[in-house]
Amino acid sequence: MEKLVKQTIEKYGSDPNRLMDMLIDTQEQFGYIGPEAVATLAHGLQLSQVDVEQTITFYHFLSTKPRGKYAIYLNNSAVAHMFGRDAIKDAFEREAGIRFGQVTEDGLIGLYDTACIGMNDQEPAAIINNKVFTRLTPYRVREIIRHMRLGKSLDELVNESYGDGRNQHPNLKTMVSSNIRRKGMILSDNYVMGKVLREVLPGISPEAVIAEIKHSHIRGRGGAGFPTGFKWEFCRKAKGEKHYVICNADEGEPGTFKDRVILTEKPELVFEGMALAGYAIGGDEGILYLRYEYRYMKDYLESVLQSMRFQQLLGTNIGGIEGFHFDIRIQFGAGAYVCGEESALLESLEGKRGEPRDKPPFPVEKGYLNQPTIINNVETFATAVRIVENGGEWFTQFGTEDSTGTKILSISGDCMFPGVYEVNWGFNVEDMLDMVGAYDVQAVQVGGPSGTLIGPDEFHRTLGYSDLSTGGSMIIFGKQRNLLRDVVLNFMEFFIDESCGSCSTCRNMPQVLRNKLVKILNGKGVKKDLTDLREWSKTLLASRCGLGQTAANPIVSSLKNFRHLYEELLQKDIEFDEGFDMKASVESSCKYVGRVPKFHH
């Protein structure tokens, strides 16, 4: 083992900043990262063992204990539950003879829950040794486990046909579907790879590129909506030895999967956008930070990069421009929602725990390896290419005044046609529901768990930065759903699992709120609990990053828009009930000392 780990260390130039790559390789090689591997890594990188361990234990897909020859990660998102996850989980447990969180005695199969894997439009879905299995049924689950026991290979476990579009590409060959249901400028078929790099860039300066981006008024597509042009300009002006371009493909917000589709169907567009950004800010190195859930795309995306290098769209003197060098490498996360936060992403890129940094300084000044860095969403880079190709002015004709251009929505839940829809900003929710064939809708979760839950009286609202802001996740809930139990509780569990634990507010308060919600769901709530939920949620705003600041949103927005659902569950005419049970609480101590409990009242 030591020899193999040493080889891994060498493969990444003994650079401690590449610890994540080494850990992922080791995990895949051995199925876990044992004490021996930790010691070898620590020694080889001149780190303490604790440094290595703390990175391992931070990430969901890394483990210090064996995870099984086949590690099965079953998606745990609210939509997975809506589409029968419980039956799938049950089938896995019965057939494998173990519970989730365990490994079979022969070490063959491990079962694990995992947060949204970006397959909400084809649930229930699971990842088995980096291969995605979608639309699972109890029958298929039994079959898969039986085949594992028969010693079939991973590829032999698949008997589904490949998905649509490029999912059939020789380097991809996956059953995942893209489900593109509405195309706009980004998903359009009229994209010609390399046109911008070869034909447009030779004629304009980096400053002029930034000017076009600014003129387009495009704002970041990841959700926060920072003006992209300004970000690029700040970075260009920042002094540093090297400038970096980073594409944030850590698509972790439950219910969003549009980056998966863009990277599957239009990876060249994204990579061209990164090269374009490199030209604009004066950087020659780009990194695609891809979530580990999309590991199945690795070979495919590497092959796309390679073919772009052959066509001189990456590499040196790109597009014939003297001195314009740019290349891209892919680095993976290992299962941590918080790494979608840009400074946590940087920490992860540098081989550390993905804990957000204090700001300022912002990444445009001190980012990757403390150098000026831009971090943009997959969709932003793709859009930038179309802007520079057609001009900032052209772009402003799409969308609204404060939200220009198009937005790719990931739509899932109770509707006829879940999938990816590219629409102009300014679309209203009512039209969206009609577009996807959603009837008898009770609520829509706009922007994922960290966003807002709205009901029918707000369906007239429009998508845009000044009204309903969204990174693209749209989850539709029909009348048959129990919003508090199936949705809000699921989202709170998600935030509890994904908190990095750095701020005490985010580490503790979501649990307190969840417990109160459970209390209400169990019929033990009183009116004051609702006031507590509302007031206590505010303390989360003191958290360092967006995860903590929005972790109470499922409760805050459902309490605001669906208060009646809470009120119906409250105990009437009781002012106080914290559920303390004297009998139950003295039982264990009395039993241990050998006495019969006696009560005065």
For other proteins, the closer CB: 241 or 575: 575
Shortest CB 355 distance to other proteins, Å: 22
Shortest CB 520 distance to other proteins, Å: 16
Shortest CB 584 distance to other proteins, Å: 8
For other proteins, the closer CB: 466 or 531: 531
Shortest CB 5 distance to other proteins, Å: 36
Token duo for residue 139:
């029958």
For other proteins, the closer CB: 429 or 513: 513
| By the rule CB under 8 A, 86 interacts with other proteins | no
Could you tell me which stretch among 125-133, 199-207, 396-404, 577-585 binds other proteins (CB under 8 A)? 577-585
Could you tell me which stretch among 35-43, 494-502, 558-566, 578-586 binds other proteins (CB under 8 A)? 578-586
For other proteins, the closer CB: 564 or 598: 598
Shortest CB 573 distance to other proteins, Å: 14
Token duo for residue 520:
């209400």
CA 522 – CA 516 distance, rounded (Å): 10
Instruction: List the one residue out of 90, 18, 415, 465 whose CA is nearest residue 255.
Output: 415
Shortest CB 503 distance to other proteins, Å: 15
Token duo for residue 84:
């029968």
Shortest CB 236 distance to other proteins, Å: 43
Shortest CB 592 distance to other proteins, Å: 4
Shortest CB 523 distance to other proteins, Å: 18
For other proteins, the closer CB: 94 or 595: 595
Shortest CB 587 distance to other proteins, Å: 7
Give the x-and-dash track for 247-266 against other proteins (CB under 8 A).
--------------------
Question: According to CB under 8 A, which residues from 580 to 599 bind other proteins?
Answer: 580, 582, 584-590, 592-595, 597-599
For other proteins, the closer CB: 139 or 599: 599
Instruction: List the one residue out of 101, 99, 31, 125 whose CA is nearest residue 70.
Output: 31
CA 386 – CA 394 distance, rounded (Å): 10
For other proteins, the closer CB: 496 or 586: 586
CA 145 – CA 90 distance, rounded (Å): 13
| Omega within 30 of 0 (cis) for the link into 554 | no
Question: According to CB under 8 A, which residues from 119 to 158 bind other proteins?
Answer: none
For other proteins, the closer CB: 189 or 578: 578
Token duo for residue 66:
């064996």
For other proteins, the closer CB: 437 or 597: 597
Q: Identify the bridge partners of residue 376 per DSSP, sorted by sequence position.
A: 247
Phi, psi dihedral angles at 114 (to 5 degrees): -150, 150
Residue with tokens 């046909």: 161
Shortest CB 502 distance to other proteins, Å: 18
Question: According to CB under 8 A, which residues from 537 to 576 bind other proteins?
Answer: 575-576
Instruction: List the one residue out of 287, 292, 313 whose CA is nearest residue 371.
Output: 287
Among residues 322, 535, 573, 578, which is the contact residue for other proteins, using CB under 8 A? 578
Shortest CB 581 distance to other proteins, Å: 10
Q: Which amino acid is at 51?
A: D
User: Which 3 state secondary structure label does DSSP give 335?
Assistant: coil
Number of residues lying near other proteins (CB under 8 A) = 21
Shortest CB 501 distance to other proteins, Å: 17
Token duo for residue 193:
């790879």
In this structure, the number of other CB atoms found within 10 A of the CB of residue 350 comes to: 16
CA 559 – CA 545 distance, rounded (Å): 23
In this structure, the number of other CB atoms found within 10 A of the CB of residue 49 comes to: 13
Stretch (H or E) spanning 413 = strand 406-413
CA 495, 496, 500, 506 torsion-angle sign? positive
Angle at 237 between CA 231 and CA 241, to 5 degrees: 110
CA 366 – CA 371 distance, rounded (Å): 5
Question: According to CB under 8 A, which residues from 476 to 495 bind other proteins?
Answer: none
For other proteins, the closer CB: 560 or 595: 595
Phi, psi dihedral angles at 181 (to 5 degrees): -115, -5
Burial 208-238 (b: 16+ CB within 10 A, else e): ebbbbbbbbbbbbbbbebeebbebbbbbbeb
SS3 content of the chain, % helix, strand, coil (to 5): 50, 15, 40
For other proteins, the closer CB: 139 or 580: 580
Assign 3-class secondary structure to 267-314: HHHHHHHHHHHHHHHCCCEEEEEECHHHHHHHHHHHHHHHHHHHCCCC
CA 564 – CA 433 distance, rounded (Å): 24
Instruction: List the one residue out of 182, 187, 176 whose CA is nearest residue 120.
Output: 176
For other proteins, the closer CB: 305 or 503: 503
For other proteins, the closer CB: 1 or 590: 590
For other proteins, the closer CB: 146 or 595: 595
Q: What does the DSSP 8-state code read for residue 110? A: E
Question: According to CB under 8 A, which residues from 507 to 536 bind other proteins?
Answer: none
For other proteins, the closer CB: 572 or 598: 598
Shortest CB 595 distance to other proteins, Å: 4
CA 316 – CA 313 distance, rounded (Å): 9
Contact predicate 582/599, CB 8 Å? yes
Shortest CB 531 distance to other proteins, Å: 13
CA 98 – CA 92 distance, rounded (Å): 8
Residues in contact with other proteins by the rule CB under 8 A: 575-576, 578, 580, 582, 584-590, 592-595, 597-601
